[in-house]
Amino acid sequence: MFDRIISFSIRNKVAIGLMTFGLILWGIYSIYHLPIDAQPDITNNQVQIISQAPSLGAQEVEQYITAPIELSMANIPGILEKRSVSRSGISVITLVFKDETDIYWARQQVNEQLKEAEANIPPALAKTILAPITTGLGEIYQYVLHTKKGYEGKYSATDLRTLQDWLVRTQLAGTPGVAEVSGWGGFVKQYEVAA
């Protein structure tokens, strides 16, 4: 069989040359038109529920927040896995759905069940939200606010955090494609009113 292919190729050099040239052109065209991603996103379909309860320890967060929310999410169809982390002041529950599940449908189901769960959580104990629709590869850019040389003593860590939260964050939040801008570090400015 290989002898026939080789002898055919030798006898029809022009046809083989044209086919080879056609394959090269097709390859070049394909390179420019294939949807190739530098880092393909292989993250599964997931919805995260974040609850902040700054006045509670890890055990109370688990008992009063994480457990009731997990229990209310048990009947949502298409869930493959439930994971949760309860730490002092915060609870993060991750629900992993089947790959064919529409992420907006999944978020709607979770949001409906979350209303039921909030009835079982003592009032004003925690603030519960759904995390933005992003994946594990969604964090694209991190930045740091620094003062210019010569102004190091003028701005404290609290001032820089306030600039981040009220100026930089609000300007970046309107950028197309940005799901969330999170602040980290510094000290959050607080006002205390004493009567």
Token readout for 189 is 């400015």
Predicted local distance difference test score (pLDDT) of residue 125: 80
Q: Tokens 């964050």, residue?
A: 169
Task: Identify which has the larger pLDDT, 37 or 91.
Answer: 91
Strands of the 127-130 sheet, one edge to the other: 79-87, 90-97, 45-52, 127-130
Rounded to two decimals, the pTM is 0.58
Predicted local distance difference test score (pLDDT) of residue 120: 81
Least confident of 50-54, 69-73, 102-106, 183-187: 183-187
Domain formed by 45-130, architecture: 2-Layer Sandwich (3.30)
Instruction: Give the max Cα distance, the chain.
Output: 101
Please give the average per-residue pLDDT across 109-122, as a whole number. Answer: 87
DSSP state of 10: H
Least confident of 68-77, 85-94, 131-140: 131-140
Predicted local distance difference test score (pLDDT) of residue 24: 95
Question: Residue ranges per domain, the chain?
Answer: 2-33, 45-130, 141-195
Predicted local distance difference test score (pLDDT) of residue 106: 93
What letter represents residue 52's amino acid?
Answer: Q
Q: Tokens 């394959």, residue?
A: 23
